[in-house]
Structure 1
Amino acid sequence: MAFKKPTSHTAVPESPDRLFRDLPRRKHPSLFDHQGQVLRNYVTSALEASGNIVFVFEDHANAKGESSVIDATKARQAASHPDWMRDHVPGSAGASIQPVLVTPAKKAKEGALPHLGRVALWDLNDFRDWAEQALVTIRTPRRDFREPGDLAWRAQAAEALVEIRADAPGLRAW
């Protein structure tokens, strides 16, 4: 038999360093511990930079256009992201986590409505327009980037993102 079925599903590791520690055939244990620390520091600094605001996007882009209807399963899936993150992502316990469902659908089934009260809905075409504008905005200051640590460049790039609401507080207010 060429392929074997997996015997069990593994749980999500409780921390990044645990993930690296459990990898088979590791040759440099201190390297994995260092990578785990880098990931923990990244999560902490990202949360601090965003004002402890986290967005979790649920993709419903493969829905069949505006005539699509959001069902209870998709609504529950999007609404459950904050609980999953608090349980599995170190450092997110105190964060303000906002689930966002990106969809072309304009209607929802009755069973979906109780779950959608906690979920922000973003029209797929509006999201694509925003994403295109965000990429153009990011590319413009990127042309002037000279070296890491350029505080003037960072301030200019941050201001450009704030202007189009591509920063966490701007998205939250939108």
Structure 2
Amino acid sequence: MLAPTSQADAKTESYVQENASDVLASLNDPSLDSEERTEKFNTYMDEFTDMTAVSNFAIGKYARRFSEDELARYRKVFREYALAVYENELDAYRGEAVIVKDSVDRSATDSIVNTVIKRQDGKDMDVRWRVLTRDGKYQVVDVALNLDGNLIWLAIEQRAQFLALLDRSNGSAEALIDKIESMKRKLETEKRS
């Protein structure tokens, strides 16, 4: 007999509902120009997301191998790149409302909150938010988007890409930082065009 899945506490669901709605509102705010929208989006994401945990996860064992300086430079460029990716992905699927469908506890401090972003064109998008709780504080550590029927966890995808590059480059922090900066520039160029 299978054990029933447990539902995440209402506070976790409320955290995602409120913060995801704020992020979405920042993308939909017609009073903001592109630069202001990005600044507001980044501010929300810095509060909503544990960028240190996500950046460490994305490089796995290499987080312990980088020097303090390499790790600081990597985290800086990772944050800039991750924010650009999240903004690009969520902006491409702008919606009117975020609705929590359900949630599942993976552990006492780790939950997945399943939401749907309601869109005007009727093409609603399923989004899953992995939320960790530390010392009573909630933060998102990964986001999964259902793109063309495939569930893509953004941090897991980044980890696969980054670890492959690090493995090929003998763990070179410089190679990774250069690659992330290149990917960030490409995203910024695409956004402007």
What's the TM-score bracket when you normalise by the shorter of the two chains? under 0.3
The structure richer in strand per residue is 2
Higher relative CO (Cα under 8 Å, sequence separation at least 6) belongs to: 2
* TM-score relative to the length of structure 2: 0.23
Larger Rg: 1
* TM-score relative to the length of structure 1: 0.25
